[in-house]
Amino acid sequence: MSSKSKKNEEINLKDEPNLTVDIIDDEQINEDDNDLRNSDNDCDSILISSKSIPECKNEPEEPCCNDVKYINVPVVISQFKICLQLENSVRFAEPIVCLKGSKKTIQLKECKLIPGTKKVFIRGIIKKVLEYASARCQSSKGSSGNLRYLTYIVPFECTTEVTYINEPQIKSNKEQKFIPLEYHFVCEDKGFYNQNIVCEIVKYKINELMCREDVVPVENIKGQDCFYKMKEKIVLNLHLRLMQNQVVCINKGAE
């Protein structure tokens, strides 16, 4: 080769970019990962792996019937009212002259429908906030105290049998089965995913009677007394609704 051709080849090599491809094996990837973790350089990045995801075929299924629209909406399973009678006692840390007010809220802790039956187990609490006037100081000239608050919880629990407006969609899952065939076993397993049945409070009504106990007269004040204990009798009317998400079919021409 002449010196002129060698010189041209060197010039072409210098002008072209230097392109290289690195093939990385698993051991090298692990080593690079350790180096990256221990490195303080934020610019040390590398492509770990890459692959293509194949497409799988699907077969369309009709949820219920033809020529309809399908919507997944909450369906009312049952709506009912229960009545509970409660009784509890409250003891105060100081003598009470009178009650000024009472606030109440209802919270459901459990409302479960047992599959295969119409029995519902219900458990919850009534959170009460009492405002009362105390008689902390008593003298020959009168009594004085403070307006205070007392917060406490009244639990309730019961079970009831409901009537269905719409049947709940609950499918039972069968256990796994092994089918013996000569020298091997074939395993068959299938199941269904059931939508949860939720419970919500529609409305409630509370009637209560509060009776004073441990009543003692206030010193040197005629006709004035105070108490240390109170007994409550409560009637709770609770309206509940059971709901479940279901696929509902409607006619395409229906509004």
Q: Which of 25-29, 66-70, 214-218, 248-252 has the lowest mean pLDDT?
A: 25-29
Residue 86, pLDDT > 50, answer yes
Residue 9, pLDDT > 50, answer no
- Other Cβ atoms less than 10 A from the Cβ of 243: the count is 20
The confidence band for 16, taking pLDDT boundaries of 50, 70 and 90, is very low
The runs of H, that is alpha helices, within 138-209 are none
At residue 4, the 3 state secondary structure works out as helix
pLDDT mean across residues, the chain: 77
Backbone angles phi, psi at 12, to 5 degrees: -65, -40
Whether 63 contacts 249, CB under 8 Å? yes
Residue ranges covered by each domain of the chain: 68-248
- Other Cβ atoms less than 10 A from the Cβ of 30: the count is 10
- Other Cβ atoms less than 10 A from the Cβ of 212: the count is 15
The beta-strand segments (E) located in 171-224 are 177-181, 184-188, 197-217
Sheet holding 197-217, edge to edge: 147-161, 119-134, 68-113, 225-251, 197-217
Q: From its phi and psi, is residue 220 left (phi > 0), alpha (psi between -120 and 50) or beta?
A: left
% of the chain beyond a pLDDT of 90? 33
* Over residues 73-99, mean pLDDT: 91
With CA atoms as reference, report the closest residue to 80 among 155, 160, 157.
160
DSSP assignment of 63-81: SS-SSEEEEEEEEEEEEEE
Backbone angles phi, psi at 95, to 5 degrees: -65, 140
The token duo for 63 is: 């949820």
Handedness of CA 123, 129, 130, 134 (dihedral sign): positive
* Over residues 48-77, mean pLDDT: 78
Backbone angles phi, psi at 13, to 5 degrees: -65, -35
With CA atoms as reference, report the closest residue to 122 among 156, 168, 95.
156
Residue 130, pLDDT > 60, answer yes
The C-alpha atoms of residue 231 and residue 54 are separated, in whole angstroms, by 71
The confidence band for 247, taking pLDDT boundaries of 50, 70 and 90, is confident
In angstroms, what is the C-alpha Rg of the chain?
Answer: 38
DSSP state of 5: H
The confidence band for 147, taking pLDDT boundaries of 50, 70 and 90, is confident
Backbone angles phi, psi at 69, to 5 degrees: -100, 150
The C-alpha atoms of residue 157 and residue 107 are separated, in whole angstroms, by 12
The confidence band for 49, taking pLDDT boundaries of 50, 70 and 90, is confident
Predicted pLDDT at 242:
94
